[in-house]
C-alpha cells in the first residue's frame, strides 16, 4: 500500500504511459511472430522430411506461446489504459490539494494531518472567528486528504489485482470514477475556503463571499462526503 508521502512523490504521467508501452510491446511481438511464421513457411519449398516436420512443430508451439504472451500484454495494456488515467488524476489532484494547503498557510504532515501554520493575529471582532474557521478548514482538509489517499490506495490495489488476473471486472472502473466525482466535490469546498483565505491575507479583512463558502452547511456537506469514503 503506497504511503501518503509516496503518493506525493509519484509521477502521474507514468501511470498513463505504461499502458501505451505495453500495447506497443504487444504490437512488436505480433509483428515478430508473423515474420517468424513467414520464414518457417519459406522452408517448405526446399525442405521436407522428418527434420522439417519437427522444426514446423517446434515453430507452431513457439508461435502459440508468443500469441499467448501477446494476448496477456494486450489485456494488461487495456487495464492500464482504463484505470491508469483515473489513478493519475487521483494522484495529481491529491498533490495539487496538498500544495494548495501549504501555499495557503497550513502545515501538512505525512499522516496526513493539516494544521494552521500560525495563529491569526488579526485585530477586531473577526479575529477569533477567522481563527476558528482556520481550525475547521484544517479539520475538513485532513479528512479530505485521508479520503483522497484512501481512494488512491483503492485504485492502486484494484489495478494490481486486475493486472494479476488479466481482466478488469465489468463496471468497476465507472464505480471508481463515480466515487472520485464525490471526492472532487468535497475538494471544491475546501478549495473555496482557501481562496477566501488568500483574499483575507491580501486585504486584511473578511471578504463578503466567506459566509457562503465556509458556512456551516458547506462544511457539514464536505465532512459528510468525506465520512462516506474515509471509513
**173 or 44: which leads in pLDDT:** 44
pLDDT tens readout for residues 175-222: 666 666 666 666 666 666 665 554 454 444 443 333 333 344 444 444
Query: What b/e readout covers 101-127, taking b as 16+ CB neighbours within 10 angstroms?
Result: beebebebeeebebbbeeebebeeebe
Q: Which long-range contacts (CB under 8 A, 24 or more apart) does 57-65 make?
A: 62/36, 63/33, 63/36, 63/37
pLDDT tens readout for residues 80-118: 887 888 788 888 889 988 998 898 888 999 989 999 887
**pTM above threshold 0.75:** no
Please tell me the distance from the alpha carbon of residue 187 to that of residue 184, in angstroms, as a whole number: 5
Whole-number Cα distances in Å, 133 to 163, 210, 220:
44, 10, 13
**151 or 229: which leads in pLDDT:** 151
pLDDT tens readout for residues 40-68: 888 888 888 888 889 889 988 988 888 88
Chain mean position to CA 180: 10
Please tell me the distance from the alpha carbon of residue 177 to that of residue 158, in angstroms, as a whole number: 13
Band (pLDDT 50/70/90 cuts) for residue 7 is: very high
Q: What is the number of residues in the chain?
A: 231
Spatial contact of 163 and 79, defined as CB atoms under 8 Å apart: yes
Domain boundaries, the chain: 4-16+81-229
Please tell me the distance from the alpha carbon of residue 118 to that of residue 52, in angstroms, as a whole number: 82
pLDDT at residue 170 is higher than 80:
no
HSE, side-chain direction, 13 A CA sphere, residue 164: 6
**Cβ contacts of 151 within 8 Å, gap of 6 or more:** 90, 176, 179, 180, 183, 229
The H-assigned helical ranges of the chain are 4-9, 12-42, 50-103, 126-165, 172-203, 210-213, 216-229
Give me the DSSP letters along 67-126.
HHHHHHHHHHHHHHHHHHHHHHHHHHHHHHHHHHHHHTTEEEETTTEEEESS-----STH
Question: Crossing angle, helix 172-203 and helix 126-165, to 10 degrees?
Answer: 160
pLDDT at 159: 84
Amino acid at each position: 500500500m503506497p504511503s501518503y508521502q509516496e503518493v506525493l512523490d509519484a509521477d502521474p504521467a507514468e501511470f498513463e504511459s505504461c499502458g501505451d508501452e505495453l500495447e506497443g510491446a504487444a504490437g512488436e511481438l505480433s509483428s515478430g511472430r508473423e515474420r517468424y511464421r513467414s520464414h518457417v513457411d519459406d522452408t517448405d519449398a526446399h525442405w521436407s522430411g522428418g527434420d522439417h516436420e519437427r522444426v514446423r512443430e517446434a515453430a507452431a508451439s513457439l508461435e502459440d506461446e508468443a500469441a499467448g504472451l501477446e494476448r496477456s500484454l494486450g489485456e494488461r495494456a487495456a487495464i492500464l489504459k482504463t484505470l491508469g488515467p483515473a489513478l493519475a488524476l487521483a494522484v495529481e489532484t491529491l498533490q495539487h490539494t496538498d500544495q494548495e494547503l501549504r501555499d495557503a498557510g497550513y502545515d501538512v504532515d505525512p499522516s496526513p494531518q493539516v494544521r494552521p501554520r500560525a495563529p491569526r493575529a488579526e485585530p477586531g471582532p473577526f479575529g477569533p472567528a477567522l481563527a476558528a474557521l482556520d481550525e475547521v478548514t484544517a479539520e475538513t482538509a485532513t479528512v479530505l486528504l485521508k479520503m483522497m489517499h484512501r481512494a488512491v490506495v483503492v485504485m492502486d490495489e484494484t489495478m494490481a489485482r486486475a493486472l494479476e488476473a488479466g481482466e478488469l471486472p465489468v463496471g468497476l472502473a465507472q464505480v471508481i470514477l463515480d466515487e472520485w466525482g464525490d471526492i472532487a466535490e468535497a475538494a471544491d469546498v475546501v478549495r473555496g475556503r482557501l481562496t477566501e483565505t488568500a483574499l483575507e491575507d491580501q486585504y486584511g479583512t473578511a471578504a463578503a463571499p466567506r459566509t457562503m463558502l465556509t458556512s456551516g452547511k458547506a462544511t457539514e456537506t464536505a465532512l459528510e462526503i468525506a465520512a462516506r469514503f474515509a471509513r
